[in-house]
Every structure is written in structure tokens, then in C-alpha cells.
């Protein structure tokens, strides 16, 4: 069966990220240490509430501000919280190749409004996808089934028609249960090699 959609995870696949950078910047204007701040914002219960739209961007800011006694305003907070990403050029080039072949590509990400705003402004490669499925816009996180269903609806593809790249085994397993072709991303080279069996 022909591949009709390539679905990329964002974090650690198309961009690297380091919450330590935000924690150090925020610590300069707060009473908490970088380590304490990182524990609060990096893959934390609070971040998952934010990325699954249980709380808004403003509520997320207010919770962090109150817990670390941040002295700055929202704009300073958002600039620091968002500026944690670096592009992985080998992977954005892969997307360019697929698009040149006429293959639709998608980003399926557990993410938040501040991160997406920052990435959109900072990285031109981000514009060159067919469509985007973000957890905070749908109130549901990978590996919950619903966000994979939404991806199938938006792409018009399903099962073996979809190739999915993600660095987290639990996200890959949920996609594999739906019959998607999956690659647990470790490095651009390993992913390129694995893709050769399906797309040339």
C-alpha cells in the first residue's frame, strides 16, 4: 500500500529543546532555583495540564509566576519559556524532500501555544507542512487514541498509508496499534535508513 501521509512528531524529531535554558532565564527574576523551576515546567503535571488545554496560557503563566515568585510580566515569561528550541536541519530537509515528491506531511505534537508561537516566528521550515495537529488545540495528548483519530481525519489517510516518526515508544505503540507504519526516532540517519523500505 502506498504511503499517503508522513506524520512528524515535533520535539526531539524536528526540533531539539532544553527546558534548562528557560529555567535559568526565569530564575534570574524569581525566588526559585533553576532546578526548582525546571521540575515545575519540564514534562511536569503542570505542563501536561497546559498542553492538554486543561488550563489556558494565562493560567499557566499565573501558576508558574505564583509558585516561583516570578517578578517579570507575561511577555518576559513567554519569551523565556518559548526560547528553548533548536532546529534539526537533517529532519527539516527530509520534510522538504517529501514535499518536493508531492507527499503530504503533518506535525502531530504534544505542545502549547507559547512554544508554537515561538517556533512559527523563529523557524521558516515550520511553515512547510500540509497541516498541524497540536494537543492544546484539541484537549488531548498522545498517546490517547483521539489525537490519532483526528490526524487520520485531517490527513484523509489511515493504517498503512501513514508513516509516523516519534521519539517516544509509547506514542509509537499507540500508532502501531492503529496499523500506522512507525519509526521510533533515534537519529536522522537511522530514520532515513528505516524510511527507505517504504519511500524512495
Q: Which residues bind Mg ion (CB under 5 A)?
A: 9, 11-12, 167
Shortest Cβ distance from residue 111 to Mg ion (Å)?
9
Indicate the residue among 9 and 113 with the shorter CB distance to Mg ion.
Answer: 9
Indicate the residue among 11 and 82 with the shorter CB distance to Mg ion.
Answer: 11
Extract the C-alpha cell encoding 82. 518559548
Which residue has the closest beta carbon to Mg ion? 11
Shortest Cβ distance from residue 166 to Mg ion (Å)?
6
Q: Collect all residues with Cβ–Cβ distance below 8 Å to 72 and sequence separation of at least 6.
A: 29
Q: Collect all residues with Cβ–Cβ distance below 8 Å to 77 and sequence separation of at least 6.
A: 26, 61, 64, 65, 70
Calculate ∠ Cα 150-125-42, nearest 5°. Answer: 65
Extract the C-alpha cell encoding 192. 532515513
Indicate the residue among 76 and 137 with the shorter CB distance to Mg ion.
Answer: 137
Angle between helices 57-68 and 19-27 (to 10 degrees): 60
- Give the bridge partners for 163, in sequence order: 6, 181
Shortest Cβ distance from residue 29 to Mg ion (Å)?
29
Shortest Cβ distance from residue 110 to Mg ion (Å)?
8
Indicate the residue among 8 and 81 with the shorter CB distance to Mg ion.
Answer: 8
Amino acid at each position: 500500500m502506498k504511503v499517503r501521509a508522513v506524520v512528524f512528531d515535533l520535539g526531539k524529531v524536528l526540533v531539539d529543546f532544553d527546558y534548562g535554558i528557560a529555567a535559568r532565564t526565569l530564575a534570574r527574576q524569581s525566588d526559585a532555583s533553576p532546578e526548582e523551576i525546571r521540575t515545575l515546567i519540564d514534562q511536569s503535571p503542570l505542563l501536561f495540564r497546559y498542553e492538554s488545554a486543561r488550563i489556558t496560557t494565562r493560567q499557566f503563566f499565573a501558576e508558574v509566576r505564583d509558585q516561583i515568585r516570578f517578578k517579570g510580566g507575561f511577555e518576559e515569561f513567554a519569551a523565556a519559556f518559548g526560547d528553548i528550541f533548536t532546529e534539526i536541519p537533517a529532519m527539516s530537509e527530509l520534510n522538504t524532500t517529501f514535499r518536493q515528491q508531492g507527499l503530504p506531511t503533518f506535525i502531530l505534537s504534544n505542545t502549547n501555544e507559547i512554544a508554537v508561537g515561538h517556533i512559527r516566528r523563529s523557524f521558516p521550515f515550520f511553515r512547510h507542512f500540509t497541516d498541524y495537529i497540536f494537543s492544546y488545540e484539541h484537549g488531548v495528548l498522545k498517546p490517547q487514541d483521539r489525537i490519532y483519530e483526528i490526524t487520520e481525519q485531517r490527513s484523509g489517510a489511515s493504517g498503512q498509508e501513514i508513516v509516523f516518526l516519534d521519539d517516544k515508544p509509547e506514542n509509537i505503540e499507540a500508532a502501531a496499534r492503529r496499523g500506522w507504519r512507525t519509526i521510533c526516532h533515534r537519529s536522522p540517519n537511522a530514520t532515513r535508513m528505516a524510511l527507505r523500505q517504504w519511500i524512495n
